[in-house]
Amino acid sequence: MNKEVIPTNGETVEVSAHKDIFSKCAAFNEPDQVRALGMYPYFRSIESTIGNQVVCEGRRKIMIGSNNYLGLAQDERVIEAAVEATRKYGSGCTGSRFLNGNIRLHEELEEELAKFLQRESVLLFSTGFFANQGALDALMEEGDSILCDRENHASILDGCRISAGEIIPFSHNNWEALRRRLARLPKESGKLLIVDGVFSMSGDIIALPEMMKVAKEYGCRVYVDEAHSLGILGKNGEGAVHHYGLNQETDLVMGTFSKSLGSMGGFVAGPRYVIDYLKHKARCFIFTASLAPAVTGGVLKALQLMRKEPERQAALWKNTRKMHEGFKAAGFNIGTTQTPIVPLLIGSEMKAFQFVQKLYEAGIFATPAVYPAVRYGESIVRTSYMATHTDEELDCVLETCGRLGKELGIFKDAAYTGQGKRKATGGYDLKLQDESGTETLRENA
Ligand SMILES: Cc1ncc(COP(=O)(O)O)c(C=O)c1O
């Protein structure tokens, strides 16, 4: 074979005349470039977790990058329930629920969730990602249409991709755009509207009543992803559809245990005949091992505590209001958030990385979100708050963000324009200014 040797990534790699599927990996050096600048923000190693703080490189950091909204991941009673379940069933189920991996605890959790959400039936999945993929893949057939908000989560987009249905995106939270798309579809096309209850990056709440009204006019089923609304919205944390009093009108809801319930795993809830269909058709459910006993036992306990201790939700909202007001007063642009997800709108990728690095060095663990998690040119530092954050911790976050924001010129020259565009290349933008070189802040929107 005709081999040549090329230097890539500081290493020597052999390539042949044939296309090598690994060549893109050898050429992939963006993380190294960001590491060289001392700003690489990913895969930070957490040595231990102490309440709302984590220890990294031997030093405590206040966590503002977690989805543990109710602080239940560290609750002793949840941990105890996980240990108890492990003792009873072992460390794993070692198989699909379809066959050997169905334990009574899975069924108890499904029954308790169905009661809590006032739904006929619930099906657990091993992750929330799988719940969206599995449901969309099983339900949508050739010729069907999936009406999908442009800011929906990646698991929904990937679910649309693997399903036989056609994805029809519409602009974020815009029911007139939804109506225009639906009006063009033939009656023979099965239709599903799928939206996040709370959008994971912007923190917006879905305009569900308006969306539902349009969907119903066109015979379109409605599916709401409650990943970030469970535990946050609704009287007892039941989610966005309960918040709007629209539980009976929506067809399916999906949720995850990786956020308010402090663990991992997901579910879909809806009419019994649909859930039974998913149970027998969703490949992400059938061809994977079931939720581990520790996870299932811990989530069941967390769900019970969430219902018994509504003061957690009240504390979360108190902290949320404090952070919205505090960031706005400090001059940050926090976009249109209505929830504990509080994005600091930055614009340039490198400036978001730089800000996160400075925060980390000052004792705050925050995370950036850059393309493709957000539109290109609309990088953010995504912060999120917990019921258990203390006033002292939150004051420290506000003071530190304000001080470093000024130092880095986040207020004066952030490139955030709200004019997201497609990215031309795969890499990060290793510069702090946008193309015009005149980063201008959107007026404190
Ligand atoms: C809106 C939304 N849906 C689904 C998921 C997937 O959930 P999981 O982490 O359980 O896979 C996420 C996770 O970030 C999410 O934000």
Q: 200 CB under 6 A from ligand 1? A: yes
Model confidence band, residue 411 (pLDDT cutoffs 50, 70, 90): confident
* The total number of structural domains that make up the chain: 3
Ligand 1 centroid vs 204 CA: distance in angstroms? 16
CB atoms within 10 A of CB 22: 9
The pLDDT assigned to 441 comes to 25
- Ligand 1 pocket test, pick from 130, 152, 198, 200 with the greatest ligand atom count within 8 Å of Cβ, gives 200
Domain-embedded: residue 429: no
- CATH number of the domain to which 275 belongs: 3.40.640.10
If asked whether residues 121 and 237 sit together in one domain, one would say: yes
Q: Which helix (H) or strand (E) holds 7?
A: strand 3-8
Mean pLDDT of all residues in 417-436 = 53
If asked whether residues 50 and 114 sit together in one domain, one would say: no
Beta bridge partners of 344: 381
d(CA 299, CA 48): 21
The pLDDT assigned to 225 comes to 98
- Ligand 1 pocket test, pick from 150, 157, 256, 384 with the greatest ligand atom count within 8 Å of Cβ, gives 256
Mean pLDDT of all residues in 19-31 = 94
If asked whether residues 162 and 272 sit together in one domain, one would say: yes
Sorted by sequence, the CB contacts under 8 Å of residue 67 that are 6+ apart come out as 228, 258, 259, 260, 384
Ligand 1 centroid vs 19 CA: distance in angstroms? 35
Q: Does position 207 have pLDDT exceeding 70, yes or no?
A: yes
Ligand 1 centroid vs 201 CA: distance in angstroms? 12
CB atoms within 10 A of CB 183: 10
Mean pLDDT of all residues in 186-212 = 97
Q: 128 CB under 6 A from ligand 1? A: yes
Ligand 1 centroid vs 265 CA: distance in angstroms? 9
Of 357, 302, 359, which is closest to residue 35 (Cα–Cα)?
357
Domain-embedded: residue 188: yes
Q: What is the pLDDT of residues 358-393, one digit of tens each?
A: 999 999 999 999 998 898 889 999 999 999 999 999
The number of CA neighbours under 13 Å toward the Cβ of 261 is 32
Residue recorded with tokens 């929906």: 152
Mean pLDDT of all residues in 350-356 = 95
If asked whether residues 157 and 276 sit together in one domain, one would say: yes
- CATH number of the domain to which 408 belongs: 3.90.1150.10
Domain hosting 93: range is: 74-308
Domain-embedded: residue 422: no
Closest ligand 1 atom number to CA of residue 128: 10
φ, ψ for residue 436, nearest 5 deg = -75, -15
- Give the C-alpha distances (Å, rounded to integers) separating 2 from 14, 340, 434: 10, 57, 43
Return the higher-pLDDT residue of 294 and 377.
294
Model confidence band, residue 294 (pLDDT cutoffs 50, 70, 90): very high
If asked whether residues 221 and 97 sit together in one domain, one would say: yes
d(CA 80, CA 75): 9
d(CA 365, CA 390): 15
Residue recorded with tokens 């207020």: 411
d(CA 325, CA 29): 40
If asked whether residues 222 and 158 sit together in one domain, one would say: yes
- Give the C-alpha distances (Å, rounded to integers) separating 201 from 34, 341, 380: 23, 7, 8
The pLDDT assigned to 445 comes to 25
Q: Which helix (H) or strand (E) holds 367?
A: strand 367-369
Beta bridge partners of 4: 15
Mean pLDDT of all residues in 164-193 = 97
d(CA 227, CA 241): 12
- Ligand 1 pocket test, pick from 129, 130, 206, 268 with the greatest ligand atom count within 8 Å of Cβ, gives 129
Q: 238 CB under 6 A from ligand 1? A: no
Q: 117 CB under 6 A from ligand 1? A: no
Ligand 1 centroid vs 135 CA: distance in angstroms? 14
If asked whether residues 91 and 178 sit together in one domain, one would say: yes
- Ligand 1 pocket test, pick from 68, 148, 153 with the greatest ligand atom count within 8 Å of Cβ, gives 153
Q: 227 CB under 6 A from ligand 1? A: yes
Q: Does position 443 have pLDDT exceeding 80, yes or no?
A: no
If asked whether residues 175 and 285 sit together in one domain, one would say: yes
If asked whether residues 152 and 206 sit together in one domain, one would say: yes
Ligand 1 centroid vs 203 CA: distance in angstroms? 14
Q: 155 CB under 6 A from ligand 1? A: yes
Residue recorded with tokens 């009006």: 183
The pLDDT assigned to 372 comes to 87
Which of 308, 337, 355 terminates a domain? The answer is 308
Q: What is the pLDDT of residues 88-97, one digit of tens each?
A: 999 999 999 9
Mean pLDDT of the chain: 91
Q: Does position 10 have pLDDT exceeding 90, yes or no?
A: no
Domain-embedded: residue 41: yes
Which of 308, 333, 366 terminates a domain? The answer is 308
Mean pLDDT of all residues in 294-317 = 98
Ligand 1 centroid vs 130 CA: distance in angstroms? 9
Ligand 1 centroid vs 155 CA: distance in angstroms? 7
